Amino acid sequence: SFGGKEFLYGLPELNKTAISSARYIANPGCFATCIQLALLPLANAQMLNSDVHVNAVTGSTGAGIMPSATTHFSWRNNNASWYKAFTHQHLGEINESLESLQETVGELYFIPNRGNFSRGILSTAYTKFEGSESEAYGLYHEFYKNAAFTMISEEPVHLKQVVNTNNCHIHLHKYKDVLLITSVIDNLLKGASGQAIQNMNLMLGFNESEGLNLKASVY
């Protein structure tokens, strides 16, 4: 709650039904959206029992509008660096969502990186997984079967596939006993304003994808 108003966490893939009848929505953060979408199906299946390691890179537009030493183009161009290792502010909302599905989850170790591009987030998360790659795909397809913008790909995903769209693309890869989950979003759309419009559509009874059938520039 804030200012005497009760806010609902506005991640449609997690709270779609509740969003439709909510009065106030808290729009998720960009890293939080990308990472949660990668991990929610495992938590829902009570299979997020080991530590999770996440490495994610965001474009310069993820730094907000206030100028700083690390946001100027001349510094970002041809450059890369990490920041807020293990302590990023989005960890709180990520863990809260995961724990709403699985009471106890493994520790989340998150390294955010600044990328040499303007928009988009690519996240790679890996954790121990006892099942097969095929079983993992089954979990993800089932969890997102009614999701308007989250798509599961059996081919490797690329950032350009989602930039300028409200989509999230997810790819799975099993190596020995480890499952690698790659997720990509546009930080300004699915990670910000696009998701806000998606929430508004649900709240007002519009088609969930109204105004959001955007096409990536790569196609």
CA distance 115 to 193: 21
Output the six-digit token pair for 115. Answer: 């990328």
Nearest alpha-carbon partner for 14 in 98, 73, 74: 98
Alpha carbons within 13 angstroms on the beta-carbon side of residue 85 total: 3
**Which helix or strand (DSSP H or E) is residue 212 part of?**
none
Q: Which is catalytic among the residues 11, 14, 22, 30?
A: 30
Q: Specify the DSSP class assigned to residue 118.
A: S
CA dihedral over 25, 30, 35, 37, signed as positive or negative: positive
Is 30 among the catalytic positions?
Answer: yes
SS3 assignment, position 197: helix
Question: Which residues have a catalytic role annotated?
Answer: 30
